[in-house]
Structure 1
Amino acid sequence: MMRWFVLAIILTCLGSDSTLGEEVDFVRDVRPILQKYCYECHSGDVRKSGLRLDVRSEAMKGGELYGESIQAGKPEESPLWQFIADENADLQMPPEGPLPTSEEVATLHRWIQQGAVWPEGVDQVKLADPSDHWSFRSIERAALPQVTRTDWPFNAIDHFILAELEAQDLAPSEAASRADWLRRVTFDLTGLPPTQQQWEAFQNDDSAQAYQRVVERLLDSPRYGERWAQHWLDVVRYADTHGFEVNTERPNAWPYRDYVIEALNQDVPYDQFIREQLAGDALNADAATGFLVTASVLLPGQIGKDEASMRLARQDSIDEIVTNIGTSFLGMTIHCARCHNHKFDPISQQDYYEMQAFVSGVEYRDREFEIPLGDMQLDQRKRWNQRRSELSLLLARAAPLADSASSRPMVNSYENIDRFTPVRTQQVRFQVKATNRYEPCIDELEVFNVEGVNVALAEHGAKLSSSGNNVSPNRHELRLINDGQYGNSSSWMSNEVGGGWVTVEFEQPQLIEQVVWGRDRLGKFSDRLAMEYVIEVRDENGAWKSVANSANRIPFDPNKNSHSPLDVDSVVESEQAQVRELLQERTMLVQKLSQLEDTRSVFAGTFREPDEIRVLGRGSPEMPKQRVSPAVPNFLGNTTLPQDATEKQRRIALADWIVSPTNPLTARVMVNRIWQGHFGLGLVETSNDFGHNGVPPSHPELLDWLSAEFIRSGWSLKHMHRLIVLSSTYRQSSSFNPAAAEVDTDNRLLWRYPPQRLMGEVIRDSILALNGNLNLEMGGPGFSLFDKRGGLSGFSPIESFDKDGLRRMIYSHRVRRERDPVFGAFDCPDYGQSTPYRRESTTSIQALNLFNSRFMIEQSRTLAGRLKAQHAETAQQIEAVYQLVLLRPPTPQEREEASLLVNQHGLASLCRVLFNSNEFLYVR
């Protein structure tokens, strides 16, 4: 209090007008005070609370806690003066040692009040320009360096690698064997091992294009998208639960995963890939916007229901979006500027909130929209519909004949079978007499001949006519009644309340025996159901004759609306078990089709009026400051939007800036991720951080050449894969060279191919593939690894799998914080944080899981059974399992030891041993 009293007297003597006192000179009057009391903690590399006071630009920015420390003309609002002048301040400065005198404090007060003049050029320390960093400079396509060994380079990559090796008096390793290269490239591009047939074909191909043919086959495989989608999903933190303590399920998150797989398989240009993930709702790619909401989040109300908690939850959710955009696309930790200016990169707190403004209208919710089916989904739907039709045909054989003495199961909205004595005709008419409500609607009218062919399909040349059509484009048109697709969205609707008819005319007369139809075979709707109807055929004289009607059907009961048009109990007892099995399979297919066709609710974010974004003191929503507009950091561009820009305009503008060829980060970051996927480590080791705190590139000229080539190719990821895997650098063996290791211990110069362990997902998929159990069905909701799909705790692992559970692991339901109990031990991420690079640990749990888990025991037995069925002799079985798992025959010693093991413990034990071997688990 004494200091305040003296200070008040001094200030009074000086007068309230700063012009009355002598002008304060920074060098003469102010800097000595700062040096005496502040520099010990706030200069050079010592910057407590992120505050530096020996350099003008840093001092004016302030530290982490209070923003700008010097407010020109406003000493009372300047933290620098407040904490020095107030003896009772929470952060009274200096914390130890002698305190500034009242005269010194008054000098600082006058200096700030006079405008805090800190002349340029007087600083004793000159800082490097933080924006002059290698990753922020324009991409320049370097000329190929000269090399001595001109016979080694296959393409440009090899020139850059060899030049660095020769500069260190090193040489590349010899080429890998064909078997090693095939195994390596097949795992790299598809995440599955090569088959024996693929190995033999490659081994016997002596043409100059042998390697290229393998690469093209692998890139054309749908397995490629599944493999490389895993890399991307690791980076963007995709999972099927919200995370944190609540960890509730996101049942509709999976379409984003399927989008990524499809986009990679189609080689969607990377710039388009980015645009769709940020603004897919404007580009007919709604599911792609799932990218915006992949991260963990506590939704409003889960963190607390008071207003302050709701504001904090909202801030956290927007922060996660900025984090995803910054790390995934730009390799920048923009989110580190949420509470204070970035410690290392030239990103201010205002820059961060200006980035927030681009996505301030995004909400974490399911939203409804029409999803155009991609090639993968279309193929699925076709296969599922074909199988469903086959099942209906098999089940129909057990249905009672129409017009028979016995009553038939009730009319239902899912499916109805009308079977009758075979009759030859060229036309069938389905006539509705009454419905349970509104105009009649039929999703598919199927007419089967005695050979089991649905001759009513449009693809078989059938023609349609009707009494009238209540047309709703692409939903209720007449053409949709025989297109082979089920569900309300592909159905015919009459324009007559309670009645109407449809006629199907075949290309030529058919001997038919059943008509199958339904209101909505995906089970979503039960209104508009034909309750009274007659099915007629036209004879050779042109007269219509009834072959079935609703007279002997049990009346419809909405409370007992069954999926099955069959009365299983009426079937011959010896056939009842088979009928129930077929019914169960069909029910599962209906569920899959329903999820595929009716996926209009997708966790891809909702878009609304953007929030008003302000800079927040210390990142707290309770400390709002100036309002900001959408803008990118100044050192990276000049994209700025007005505050009244619409929500969609903001995201489109952000996407345009990110994919602009003038943006130096986007291409570099993605090329580095591709390189890392093939060599285990990127040219830039810190693949999510290309800023000052990241590691510089090992081959900067190569990185820029690849980046320029990436853009030149039209942003084609597959083009970059071809360049890399066909290079001599990639084709090297992994043989260890002690002399080279002394010069380059970490193999950053790539004097050999770096051995890498298979990812946990790849190990599981490969075991299933080798024993013939892998289910290659693509897309759709994930299969469960645990007994629950979300929640607080208590996840019991599923130990034995069949059907869907034997799909590739990328199709598993990802629960945050819960790793797969067997393969999660192989460093699978917990999906809570971005995982740009998976570490490779070695633990005893890994070996124990691969030898003793129920999954491994079951799969080893399956493989053993498969080999025994193919080979009668133990010696043949041993040869076969080595060739299958390791792509080579056993050595004489291995043959002898394996024979002893099989004779004592069985062939399944040998399978377990090989699955646990380093030769299987590592790619060399």
Structure 2
Amino acid sequence: MNRTPWMFPGMLLGLIAGLGVGANAGAAEPVVDFARDIAPIFQARCLSCHGDAKQRGGLRLDRAADLLRGGDSGAAVEPKSAAKSLLMQRVRSQDADDRMPPSGDRLTPEQIAKLAAWIDSGATIPADLAAAPSEANEHWAYRPLTRPTVPTIGGKIPTGSAAIDAFVAAKLQPLGLGIQPETDRLTLIRRLTFDLHGLPPTPEAIAAFQADISPNAVEKLVDSLLASPRYAERQARHWLDVVRYAESHGFEMNNVRPNAWVYRDWVIQAFARDLPYDQFVIQQLAGDQLNADAATGFLVAGPWDQVKSPDAVLTAQQRADELHDIVSTTGSTFLGLTVGCARCHNHKFDPIPQQDYYAIKAVFAGVQHGERPVPMPGQETQLADAERTPALPPGAPVGKLRRTPVQAGRNVDRLLPVRAKWLRFNVLATNSVEPCIDELEIFSPGNDATNHARTAKVTASGSYLGNPIHRLEHINDGQYGNSHSWISNTPGKGWVAFEFPEPVTIDRVLWSRDRTEPPQFRDRLAMEYRIEISSDGKEWQEVASSRDRAVSSTQPMGYVGRMTSPEETRMLRRGEVTQPLDPVGPGTLTRIGTGSTVATIAAAARDAERRMQFARWVVDPKHPLTARVMVNRIWQTHFGVGIVDTPSDFGRNGGKPTHPELLDWLASEFIADGWSMKAMHRKIVLSATYRQRGNDLVAGRAVDASARLLWKYPPRRLEAEAIRDTILAVTGKLDLRMGGPGFDLFEPNGNYVKVYTPRKSFPEETFRRMVYWSKPRMQLDDTFGAFDCPDAGQIAPKRNQSTTPLQALNLLNSPFAVQQSEAFAARLQAEAPSEEARIRRAFVLAFGREPSPVEQSAAAGLTKEFGLSALCRALLNANEFLFIR
């Protein structure tokens, strides 16, 4: 039904004016009244293009929030400043292409004067219009997360996994359906092991599970699967799809990123130790502040155009595209929102103003693609105690024994006792942007030594301007921490010099970036430095340096981004870098997640502070989206499709939840369980819903052919990586080494532009799990790329499942399939003494069961005519081998 925009919600506009209800209710009537003077102008001349049916330029004038928010070109109205308001500029314009209205008569001078007077007086709007229901509360995903009541079963309210079944059963009951009985033990252990590990269970594990008659046999199996590192590798593969991870840059050169694997390993380790999801999020956005530098590989996991241009506009466009990738992926990954759609205009479907897009862009404006040193806890190296080991003098050879690496907290450089009038600490390189030192102390020999820095006159190469907590006088004020520190004014370098009142004998220098416990800040750390002394302040002698400190073994380079001072962020008209508008400070979404307790991000906040505040906003338990999105992703890993079938889009254009109450209950449980991902997996797989049979039912197929309502367990094919891993496991060739640089499935070459030529033979170093493949962007593996493997050109929140002839041909005839069939046959010959026994062993390894008499006979005939490897190829191509049931 068509309706006049200003009649809803404002059929009461006339009454509002008459009753005095408005922003200034109770006060004297303003000279210009919105309902009387302004609304009729909008109604007659504006709303045909800027109303509820059409919003040209992203501008809507029939609702208060949109009116003040503006469109593609910025705010339409600047209260109390008609001169700055885009609306006034357009209605006053003499340019036929720019003026508004674009056709018909111009507004009269009296109408223009009323608009100007209304804006200059504060642009007050009737309270009834201003208080119209929020868009954010009209859509299910934006409503506050509340814990729903679990449906009763037999008069009782179930808890834990049984609560899942209660929600599912309540949805099935009106359809005359229910949850089916539990499936058989063999099917269940294969389902669980494939789901949680991406590998088949061993024959020994199957036998043990089938023989276990204890009432908690399934719980014990699940707990053992969750405790295995294979679980972490499986879940990491799912996550890497979501965040568009690859180990090459993309674009026309598509050169490799040799150190991108650092982030992949961090993801695996995070799942292995069940890092709480809120910390999992925070570390990926601001891990450089939490000694989790590898985690920020998330930010730069996407494509990067390494071919730069001398043209300033093209360079600006490249940078805008880099940040757009970060903003878009952050929004889709953690919030399930298509934030990137607000780059050029207000979001057409969801309450995401264009200004919010640029506020989030400002959060990440200090992130640059590139590498930096990454602490790798747990790696062993030969380290000397820096507290007691003197630094090497200049020219001395550096042996295998190195001093401990620099850290954000207390660092000691012990010197051979030396006399000096001056000491200079010269920073040559940092882990990010300008170096920061919170305190530098200079001691004489002895336990009761004097700190000579306290009485020294201090000079520096330059100091960070405009911030009172980063001043030169703080470097020797006796106070530790970031809030009493000195920052250089030059990225990556700077020096600070101490002049003592009289020459002194010194034997050690203590310095730190942030000597709080534990350090809160780890950026701006001096990684390379020299300590020099002088008798006259002109001639300098090196007495210590970073060159004998460990770096490579405990701090390898990782493609995890370079953190710099944030560049200025401006709104861009229609997203065009050539049309900058007003500056925008860092912020969050203003109309979604507004219940968060996180404070506004200060406009002057440093890069790390911006990202940390934003991350805390994302994981605030009051945020309506974060927990919902992640439990839906976990649900998808077990049933093939989420409760919401668009896992990275919970907006209005996304799918609707099949079980909204169940989704909210799971999200509430997730938070209550301390954001434990393992606990959520356990809860789901122990439910009767998950453990039920996958039998087809005519009644179920008639009303829910895809089994979205879960009247059966929905079978699905293994994805590409799991198929390859399973083949290697069954043939006995799987290499379970974890971590480190991956393997390559393309022929090596040294071309300027990387050429990806698929391998035709596969050495043993390629037999690791597929998660360790050095996956390039936009290039698929020759064999398994046909199985809907994403190319990392963009995010892949869920895999397609196609069925094509090429898939069957690849599994039957590819060099890899032929090689592994022969390896399978060789394993059978080594493990079984006769042809009959080898056939039985083949079925047990491939399917977890003995062959039937018919299968045994057919297999024997095939083997006799074509050889044992032919049988192996047939088994590796069977649906029973490739499907989770």
TM-score (norm 1): 0.70
Alpha-carbon separation, structure 2, partners of 1:474 and 1:241: 30
Alpha-carbon separation, structure 2, partners of 1:151 and 1:908: 55
Q: How far off its partner does 1:837 sit?
A: 0.7
Alpha-carbon separation, structure 2, partners of 1:30 and 1:471: 74
1:50 corresponds to: 58
Alpha-carbon separation, structure 2, partners of 1:669 and 1:87: 48
1:699 corresponds to: 659
Change in 2 beyond 3 A, CA 1:761/1:704: same
2:118 corresponds to: 115
Alpha-carbon separation, structure 2, partners of 1:712 and 1:125: 34
Which one-letter code corresponds to 2:151 in the other structure? P
Give the number of aligned pairs: 697
Say whether 1:347 aligns with 2:363.
no
Which one-letter code corresponds to 1:741 in the other structure? R
1:358 corresponds to: 363
1:498 corresponds to: none
What pairs with 1:523-538 in structure 2 (closer than 5 Å)?
none
Alpha-carbon separation, structure 1, partners of 2:181 and 2:155: 13
Say whether 1:305 aligns with 2:314.
no
User: Runs of 5+ in structure 1 lacking a partner?
Assistant: 1-21, 383-434, 445-469, 478-593
Alpha-carbon separation, structure 1, partners of 2:108 and 2:866: 86
Which one-letter code corresponds to 2:802 in the other structure? S
Which one-letter code corresponds to 1:309 in the other structure? L
What pairs with 1:199-348 in structure 2 (closer than 5 Å)?
199-299=206-306, 302-348=307-353
Specify which of 746, 751, 767 is matched with residue 806 of structure 1: 767
Specify which of 632, 641, 644 is matched with residue 684 of structure 1: 644
Deviations for 1:291-336, whole angstroms, at most 9, x for unmatched residues? 111111224xx25222222222222222222222211112122222
Q: Secondary structure at the match of 1:237?
A: coil
Q: How far off its partner does 1:82 sit?
A: 3.5
1:611 corresponds to: 567
Specify which of 665, 672, 678 is matched with residue 632 of structure 2: 672
Specify which of 705, 710, 713 is matched with residue 673 of structure 2: 713
Q: Secondary structure at the match of 1:626?
A: strand
Change in 2 beyond 3 A, CA 1:218/1:241: same
Change in 2 beyond 3 A, CA 1:598/1:714: closer
Say whether 1:781 aligns with 2:741.
yes
Specify which of 813, 822, 830 is matched with residue 791 of structure 2: 830
Change in 2 beyond 3 A, CA 1:85/1:913: same
Deviations for 1:785-833, whole angstroms, at most 9, x for unmatched residues? 1124897464210122122211111111111000111111111111121
Q: Secondary structure at the match of 1:660?
A: coil
Change in 2 beyond 3 A, CA 1:917/1:655: same
Specify which of 552, 577, 601 is matched with residue 621 of structure 1: 577
Specify which of 778, 791, 796 is matched with residue 757 of structure 2: 796
Same amino acid, percent of matched pairs: 43
Alpha-carbon separation, structure 2, partners of 1:709 and 1:195: 33
Q: How far off its partner does 1:912 sit?
A: 1.3
**Greater Rg by CA:** 1
Change in 2 beyond 3 A, CA 1:609/1:801: same
Change in 2 beyond 3 A, CA 1:152/1:900: farther
Q: Secondary structure at the match of 2:794?
A: coil
Q: Secondary structure at the match of 2:268?
A: helix
What pairs with 1:394-409 in structure 2 (closer than 5 Å)?
none
Which one-letter code corresponds to 2:310 in the other structure? K
1:736 corresponds to: 696
Q: How far off its partner does 1:630 sit?
A: 2.1
Change in 2 beyond 3 A, CA 1:728/1:596: farther
Which one-letter code corresponds to 2:862 in the other structure? L
Which one-letter code corresponds to 2:649 in the other structure? D
- RMSD, aligned α-carbons: 3.4
753-762 or 794-803, larger mean C-alpha shift: 794-803
2:168 corresponds to: 161
Q: How far off its partner does 1:211 sit?
A: 0.8
Specify which of 713, 716, 719 is matched with residue 759 of structure 1: 719
Alpha-carbon separation, structure 2, partners of 1:265 and 1:199: 24
1:898 corresponds to: 859
Note if contact 1:679-1:753 (Cα within 8 Å) is conserved in structure 2: yes
Alpha-carbon separation, structure 1, partners of 2:158 and 2:871: 41
Q: How far off its partner does 1:760 sit?
A: 0.0
Q: How far off its partner does 1:200 sit?
A: 0.6
User: Runs of 5+ in structure 2 lacking a partner?
Assistant: 1-29, 383-391, 413-549
Alpha-carbon separation, structure 2, partners of 1:595 and 1:807: 28
Q: Secondary structure at the match of 1:162?
A: helix
Note if contact 1:774-1:807 (Cα within 8 Å) is conserved in structure 2: yes
Say whether 1:727 aligns with 2:735.
no
Q: Secondary structure at the match of 1:315?
A: helix
Q: How far off its partner does 1:442 sit?
A: 5.0
Say whether 1:443 aligns with 2:448.
no
69-78 or 657-666, larger mean C-alpha shift: 69-78
Alpha-carbon separation, structure 2, partners of 1:472 and 1:670: 39
Note if contact 1:179-1:199 (Cα within 8 Å) is conserved in structure 2: yes
Say whether 1:863 aligns with 2:869.
no
Which one-letter code corresponds to 2:400 in the other structure? D
Q: Secondary structure at the match of 1:855?
A: helix
Specify which of 910, 913, 918 is matched with residue 871 of structure 2: 910
Change in 2 beyond 3 A, CA 1:876/1:164: same
2:586 corresponds to: 630
1:602 corresponds to: 558
Q: How far off its partner does 1:876 sit?
A: 2.3
1:557 corresponds to: none
Alpha-carbon separation, structure 1, partners of 2:739 and 2:114: 67
Alpha-carbon separation, structure 2, partners of 1:473 and 1:137: 48
Deviations for 1:681-739, whole angstroms, at most 9, x for unmatched residues? 11122111222222232222211221121122221111111111111111011111121
Q: Secondary structure at the match of 1:866?
A: helix
Q: Secondary structure at the match of 2:571?
A: strand
Specify which of 136, 142, 146 is matched with residue 142 of structure 2: 136
Q: How far off its partner does 1:169 sit?
A: 2.4
Note if contact 2:88-2:116 (Cα within 8 Å) is conserved in structure 1: no
Change in 2 beyond 3 A, CA 1:33/1:358: closer
What pairs with 1:488-637 in structure 2 (closer than 5 Å)?
597=553, 600-635=556-591, 636-637=593-594
Say whether 1:749 aligns with 2:754.
no
Say whether 1:847 aligns with 2:854.
no
1:883 corresponds to: 844
Change in 2 beyond 3 A, CA 1:293/1:31: same
Alpha-carbon separation, structure 2, partners of 1:28 and 1:440: 86
